[in-house]
Structures are given as structure tokens and as C-alpha cells.
Amino acid sequence: MSLLTVDDLVVEHRSPGRPVVRAVAGASLAVHPGEVVGLVGESGCGKSTLARAVCGLNPIAEGSITFDGQPVTPLGLRRRKLTGIQMVFQDPYTSLNPRRRVGDQIADGLRTARDREGSGAPELTRAAPSPADLLERVGLPRDFAGRHPHEFSGGQRQRVAIARALAARPRLLIGDEPISALDASAQSQVATLMRDLAVESGAGLLFISHDLSVVRLIADRIAVMYLGKIVEVGDTEEVWAGPRHPYTQALLKAIPKPDGMGVLPAELPGDVPDPANPPEGCRFHPRCPFVMDVCRVKEPDFGPAACWLHEPK
Ligand SMILES: Nc1ncnc2c1ncn2[C@@H]1O[C@H](COP(=O)(O)OP(=O)(O)OP(=O)(O)O)[C@@H](O)[C@H]1O
Ligand SMILES: [Mg+2]
């Protein structure tokens, strides 16, 4: 059974005097225990909005999110801590408290795990590690627990953020661009560390990244998001060997560029359309080199590749 099931999810952003932005516009996705799912797509396609909804931070307009058999609803901070979902954010400078020793911040995570003990979570029967143990597990010296965040490099800080998340013994770990603020040498190390520690503890990992080469390195499955929808999902190696959706094909072609996948290759004109005013039919049709008549009028609402070239028989 899936640990996380996102079914036809719609999440809207509303601001006064502005059109409603359907940042997530009917997205479906699953993560299994011990599985790493990479979520990729251009800037603004709705990845963070989806991740925040999974954590109960964004209200659901339509569709559903089920975590561990329970529906996810917007939660207060305390209840959110008890769900068993932990998130590691892009910027380790703002996600750690600059005034507190990192050992104390990791101890907060340990307390969160203890608070959940009452709920009978089976993973809590193991002996609890100490903050120093966790620092060691993320590759930092044990005695760094007494230091403050400014005494760490960006990569080290992100290791601390991962240690704090793991201290809470999550069933699901979400990384929202957890490596994009790190220098190139730290990126694959930190990504691999997250994968290893999540899988080793039996947790699922939803890893959001612009960097397809890192996703390929760590993900069992990959989900490609375009303008609020998952347009292709599949085993990482299969998607790599034969991307079906023209958008996935374009992303894979864009990899060798130094600016990564934030920019589409020259063959695909145009920017990401406005999610407040998406195109009719297939959302990708104005940029698609294979556009057909049906694409302009009818949305391809099927998987694993939501493209009229790949309509299931
Ligand atoms: N609080 C908000 N209010 C209004 N619009 C928002 C808000 N947050 C996000 N949006 C809009 O929703 C859409 C999706 O944003 P989101 O942050 O989920 O994208 P993303 O895929 O995470 O992008 P990035 O790769 O840049 O992090 C964008 O058009 C964005 O401008
Ligand atoms: Mg984002």
C-alpha cells in the first residue's frame, strides 16, 4: 500500500484583486515506504505548493491527499509535527534557528518523535539516538552539537537540517530543492545521504529538484510536473531510456546545459504559461513540437504519460 497518495489534487492561491492561481491543477502521485520519488519540472510549475499541501500547510481545493491511510488536512503546528512527515527546505540558512546550538535543534526533532510515541508508531520502539549520533550519521563530527549554525558551511548546515528531520523519525521525508543552494561537490553527496538515510529507516522520500542528473542518481521513480499537473511518471531508468511526454523529452535534452533544467532548450519556444490562465486542451500544446488538433481542445487526463500521442488503448 502507498504511504502517500495524492489523487487529482487541486491547490489554489488566492490574493485580493488577483486572479486565482491553480498552482496544482489535478495532480496525482504516490510514494511507497522505502521508495524515492523524484519530482521535477520548471520553476513555477507547482512543486512546492504540492509539497506544502502534503504537509498540511496549504489547503486542498479539490481532490485528496492520503498519508498512511489517513486524509491530510490543514493542521496546526503541533499536530503537524505528529504526522510523521518532515520537510527539508532549500535554504539551510533560514530553516535553522541562528541563535540555538544545532544539538538543541536536533533534540527538538527527537522530542517530536517521543511525542508521537503515545500514538503507538511502530518505528519508535527502536532505541532513540542522541543528537551526536545523528550528527555522525550525516557525516559531521559528534562534538559539533555545541556549535551554532553560522559555524557551518552551507553543505554542513543542510546535513544538520537532515539530521534534525531524521531525529523526528519521519515515515515520509520531503526535500524541497534541498541541494540547490549547495555547491556542486556537496549536491550529490547530500542528495545521496538523504536517499540512504530515508531508505535505511524505511521512510519514503519525495525529492524535489531542478537537477535531473541528481534525481537520476537517487530516485526509484520520477514524476514530471508541468503547470500544475503530473504529465509523466515512471521508473527512473525507463523514463531516461524512453521519455514519452514531449515535455519530459525536452527536459532530458536540456540537462547538459550549465543552467540546468530551469530553461527549456531552444526547440521549445515560449515560457511556462500563467497558471492563472492555462491554455485550453493539453497545457503543453502551445510549446509542443508534435501538437495535433485534439491537443488544442481536449486535456489528456490519463497516465503514465498524459499526452495524446500515448493514449492508452
Ligand atoms: N503564496 C502564493 N500566492 C500566490 N501565488 C503563489 C503563491 N505561492 C506560489 N504561487 C504561484 O503558484 C505557482 C506555483 O508555485 P510553486 O512555488 O509551487 O512552484 P515551484 O514549482 O515550487 O517553483 P520553483 O521551482 O521556482 O520553486 C507559481 O505560479 C507561483 O507564482
Ligand atoms: Mg519551489
pLDDT band for position 263 (cuts 50, 70, 90): very low
Q: Over range 137-166, report the average pLDDT.
A: 93
Mutate to test the pocket of ligand 1, among 14, 47, 58, 277 (most ligand atoms within 8 A of CB): 47
How high does pLDDT run on average in the chain?
88
CA of 204 to the centre of ligand 2 (A): 20
User: Can you give the pLDDT at residue 83?
Assistant: 74
CA of 38 to the centre of ligand 1 (A): 18
pLDDT band for position 262 (cuts 50, 70, 90): very low
pLDDT band for position 129 (cuts 50, 70, 90): confident
Q: Which of 25-34, 109-118, 135-144 has the lowest mean pLDDT?
A: 109-118
46 C-beta closer than 6 A to ligand 1: yes
Bond before 304 cis per omega within 30 degrees: yes
264 within 8 A of 44, measured Cβ to Cβ: no
112 C-beta closer than 6 A to ligand 1: no
Tell me the pLDDT tens digit for each residue of 39-67: 999 888 999 999 999 988 899 999 999 99
pTM given for the model: 0.91
